[in-house]
Every structure is written in C-alpha cells, then in structure tokens.
Amino acid sequence: VSAEPADLLVVHAGELATLAGPAPRTGPALRDVGALPDGAVAIRGEHIAAVGPTRELERRFRAARTIDASGRLVTPGLIDAHTHPVFVSLRAAEFEMRLQGRTYQEIAAAGGGIRSTVAGVRAADDDALARAVEARLRRFLAEGTTTIEAKSGYGLTLADELRSLRAIREAARRVPVGVAPTLLGAHDVPPEFREDREGYVRLVAEEMVPAAAREGLAEFCDAFVERGFFTVEDGRALFRAARAHGLRPRLHADEFSDCGGAALAAEVGAISADHLLHVSDAGIEALRRAGVVPVLLPGTHFSLGLPSGAPARRMIEAGLPVALATDCNPGTSLTESLPMVMTLACVLLRMTPAEALAAVTVNAAAALARAHDRGRLEPGLRADLVVWDVPDHRALPYYYGVGHAETVVAGGRPVWEKKTHA
C-alpha cells in the first residue's frame, strides 16, 4: 500500500476547530466551530490536502514532518480585517494625558493626535516606513494572525499615501503574512486643507485613487465618514471614483454618531462597514440586505474608555455575518492581538467564544473577499493554521492578555514557533 506524500501533518488536535461549511457564518451557525475530535490536517505545498480523524489521515499520508497537537486547540490562521500599520512613532504621552482627563483639543494643542502620526510618516524615509510595517507584521504572526487588511492613511498627500502603500507591499514581501491593502486617503483632512475639505476630497478621488489603482497598490478604498471628518456626500464621490478604478469600497461608519454610514455602505456596495457603535436598526437592516460585513473593533472603545460598544447581539440576531478586528493604530487601539480582541468581544459585546472565533476567521475572510481561499480548514484552501497552547476555543478568549500561539503555519510552512526556555 503506497501512502500519498504530504509535506506536513498536524495530528491529534485536542480540538480541531475547522469552521468548515458555508461562508460567512450567520445566526446559529456562528455558535458552531465545526470541531473534529482527535482531528488532523494534511498539507501539501501551500494548500490543505485533507482534514479528518487522525487515524485515517495517518494511514493515508506519509508526511515529511508531523506536528503533534495533543491537548491543544487548532484553528485556521486568524484574519484581521481592519488595521492601520503604517506609522513610525507611538503616542504614549497622549494616552497618559487622556487618562488624566485632557480633552482631544488640549491633546492636539500639545502636538498629539493623528497629526503627530502624519508628521512622523511624512518625515520617515521609505526604508524606515517598510521596516516599521515589517516589525508589526511579525507581531501579528506571533499572535496567530496570518492575513491582515492594511490601510494607508497617515500620509495624506499623494506622494505619502503612495509611499505608505508601497511600504505595505514591501513588508508583505519580507514576512509571510497575507496582506489586503487599502487606500485610506480620506482618513482625515490634513492641516494644509483645513479650509478646503472639498479640495482634499477631489485630490483623493482624482489623484490618489487613480494612482494607487494604476500601480496595483490597493484592493480597497476606505473613508472615515463621521461628523467632523468626511460627509456622506464626500464618501459617495470618493467611492464612485474608487469603483471606476476597480477599488472596492469599505468604510469607517457610525463610530461616534449615527450619521448614515451604514446606509452609505449598503448604497455603494461596500464589502464591509466598520466600527458601527451608533448604527441604527434601519442601518443594520440596510447592511443585511446589501450583504455588507460588519467589522466590529472593541479594542477601540476599550482603549478610549467609552461606555458601550457596537450592538453585536442585535446584529447577530438580525442575521449579519459579524467580523472582529484589532483596528491596530497608535491613537485608539494599539494591539496586534486578535485573541485579546476576542476577549473584549466576549466580555464587552456579549459574544460567545465560538462567535468570536468565527468572527476572526471565516467571517473576517469574507470581509476581505477571501472566503474562497482561507478562513476555514477545508481541502483545497490555503494551509494557514495555528496550534494554540490552550485545550479548546473557549479557553482562547477566557485566558487573556498573554500569547497562546505555539506554532503558526502560513502557506503550508511553519513560519513562527514559540520558543521555550529552560
């Protein structure tokens, strides 16, 4: 009997959470992680060859390497559907000022706020930008994340937004994390356009979008549609330009107020609407009908100490395919850890551990138009998986604030392993 060759076999998983089946998951299906007892995964090349009981796969395959996952949780590689990784300096002084009750205006007057991050990015050379993103990608990997969405948005000039997107592309060549790049030229109105917001919107729509598309630097176009930032009309104009150049819309919506962001997301056929702390019932219904994935970012309201988060339970009850993300950024949520975000989603948004896991795997893949090739453990999909040092999916958000990823496999290769020290 000749066994089939495999490059890697992961066997005897304490819980193999496959998330297999229809994607994305909604309603009661969100509570089912598709667990296989004593499960195994066979990998050939960059893809999953088979998933099944260990006994069966050990008989069927002859593997070059075997990982014993006894007593451990195995999941698909996590997917972070909302990050802002292109920045060079931190804002810890601002964090401290905020804790002491200083207002946003006082912080801005002291040189803090998004403007300080923008100044840092504009002053950094290309190599420094790429190295900053590269370091962040390695931390995502160490937390079990194998795919991220990555936004520009701290350059806010044509040249600096393109440099930011090129830094994302260069970092993705150096680190085995899948990257879905997004142009976020409409993150904020830069100081030099303070009196001419419409002029800045034209710059983004007529210059940044075509240039990013021409160079193949972005898949998505995002905008911060919020009172004091960009209006629904601005968003409509930007997304029309984005569509014309093949960039799919996604947006920051209804974070600080219900200003029609969810309705706009539905109207322009956005792939995701993110934040949604103040989304209305009509907004939820519009998202459902248009098939928009809501991406919730509980790290943000946690970091800012806001009283309540997005209405996750209402969205799940309405049948929405809820996803979760870190919003990794230096102002409002500085973390690369999706397991930490799962904890916040469970405790603050009342999601169950199973719902939180689906939200950072299969549903996050849908938020990035990648549900066809990742986010589940199924034959034919990309071999991205994580062996965790906890016994099951409930323990991952329960045991919080420490790194649980033991082995991270991306594209079929073990690319990160936790070091043990005597």
Residue 345 or 410: which CB sits closer to Zn ion? 345
Residue 273 or 383: which CB sits closer to Zn ion? 273
Residue 348 or 377: which CB sits closer to Zn ion? 348
SS (H, E, C) 20-56: CCCCCCCHHHHHCCCEECCEEEEEECCEEEEEEEHHH
Cα–Cα separations (whole angstroms), residue 77 to 141, 250, 383: 9, 23, 8
Q: Provide the 8-state DSSP code for 368.
A: T
CA distance 19 to 201: 41
Residue 252 or 393: which CB sits closer to Zn ion? 252
E strand segments, 268-388: 272-275, 293-296, 323-324, 385-388
Longest pairwise C-alpha distance within the chain: 76
Residue 327 or 355: which CB sits closer to Zn ion? 327
x/- map, 307-346, Zn ion, by CB under 5 A:
--------------------x-------------------
Say if residue 412 is exposed, middle or buried (CB neighbours under 10 Å; 0-12, 13-18, 19+). buried
Please, what's the b/e burial string for 345-358 (b: 16 or more CB within 10 A of its CB; e: otherwise)? bbebbebbbbbbbb
What is the smallest separation between the CB atom of 329 and Zn ion, expressed in angstroms?
Answer: 6
What is the smallest separation between the CB atom of 296 and Zn ion, expressed in angstroms?
Answer: 12
Helices (H), 175-311: 197-203, 209-214, 232-244, 261-267, 281-290, 298-304
Residue 74 or 238: which CB sits closer to Zn ion? 238
What is the smallest separation between the CB atom of 225 and Zn ion, expressed in angstroms?
Answer: 12
What is the smallest separation between the CB atom of 313 and Zn ion, expressed in angstroms?
Answer: 22
| Residues in 172-211 that interact with Zn ion by CB under 5 A | none
Per rule CB under 5 A, count of chain residues that contact Zn ion: 1
What is the smallest separation between the CB atom of 200 and Zn ion, expressed in angstroms?
Answer: 18
What is the smallest separation between the CB atom of 153 and Zn ion, expressed in angstroms?
Answer: 8
Residue 13 or 359: which CB sits closer to Zn ion? 359
Residue type, 166: R
What is the smallest separation between the CB atom of 226 and Zn ion, expressed in angstroms?
Answer: 11
Tell me the residue nearest to Zn ion as measured from the CB: 327
Q: What residues make contact with Zn ion under the rule CB under 5 A?
A: 327
